[in-house]
Amino acid sequence: MITFEKVTKRFGGKTVLNEISFEVPRGETFVIVGLSGAGKSVTIKHMVRLLTPDSGIVRIGNDVISSARGAELERIRGRFGVLFQGAALLQWLTVFENVALPLREHTKMSEEEVEKTVMEKLRMLNMEDSAEMFPADLSGGMQKRVGLARAIVMDPEIILYDEPTSGLDPVTSRLIDQRIKDLRRELGMTSVVVTHDLHSALSIGTHIMMIDDGRIVENAVPKEFIQSKNKTVQQFLESQYITRRGEWEKGMDNHVG
């Protein structure tokens, strides 16, 4: 579905992606993990051509997005829904109007169809009761769900998430993870998720790929990923378990105190 062939990207003198090749199969939830600065966001940005490779090719099915132009590029981009960091909701529009925006801009749907489509998506994310609220009145987790509704309102084939749970508390993060899983089941979309949260990765991923310093160090199903013999992967796994245990211990201390 999405294919990277020897993609290299440099910024200034720094090679940020170093001839990376991989494939995201149709219908899968493909998770990209790695430390901060590893090249995860740069990778996912190439999928919608927010970045162009210095060399190599990015294909979306049979479409070569890495060299597409004009109307062709717009058509390929139309195959995607995206939930990226910083893609904020418009504060002066209600939840309903925020989700309706792509339909009003890119389709000729009647007002009735817009209403039906938006409410259907809000319902999927348990946000139908908040349709008339403004973003500022919602919690972080609710705002993410509205962003998710907006990302899927055009029924994209592929959805891209860059750190969908960053800034959310652990309980809310798990709820968002569950929504991502539900959407895959209900809509059969191909999903690519960038995260540094291994807990999320293992819970939602059907494939997990780790990038380190612009190179792929592992690409496997979750069961194999956690048994990786790669040193960098092992360190990454260990670091997250230790952090997690640290958090639990702190939490228990607070409880006792």
Ligand X SMILES: Nc1ncnc2c1ncn2[C@@H]1O[C@H](COP(=O)(O)OP(=O)(O)O)[C@@H](O)[C@H]1O
Which spans of this chain sit near ligand X (rule: CB under 6 A)? 11, 16, 34, 36-42
**41 or 98, CB closer to ligand X?**
41
CB 175 within 8 A of CB 163: no
**18 or 187, CB closer to ligand X?**
18
**Quick check: 191 binds Mg ion (CB under 5 A)?**
no
Decide which of Mg ion, ligand X, none touches 205; Cβ closer than 5 to 8 Å per partner kind. Answer: none
Angle in degrees, CA 32, 40, 13, rounded to 5? 150
Shortest Å, Cβ 201 to ligand X = 13
Shortest Å, Cβ 195 to ligand X = 10
Site string for Mg ion, 5-24 (x = CB under 5 A): --------------------
Bridge pairing between strands 29-33 and 190-194: parallel
The enclosing H or E element of 12 equals: none
Decide which of Mg ion, ligand X, none touches 39; Cβ closer than 5 to 8 Å per partner kind. Answer: ligand X
Tell me, rounded to whole angstroms, the distance of Cα 167 from its chain centroid.
14
Shortest Å, Cβ 21 to ligand X = 17
Identify the three-state secondary structure at position 209. strand
Interacting residues with Mg ion between 25 and 84 (CB under 5 A): 41
- φ, ψ of residue 241 in degrees (nearest 5): -65, -40
Decide which of Mg ion, ligand X, none touches 16; Cβ closer than 5 to 8 Å per partner kind. Answer: ligand X
Task: State how far the alpha carbon of 30 is from the alpha carbons of 156, 174, 184, 200, in Å.
Answer: 16, 17, 11, 12
Residue type at position 229: K
Binding positions for Mg ion, rule: CB under 5 A? 41
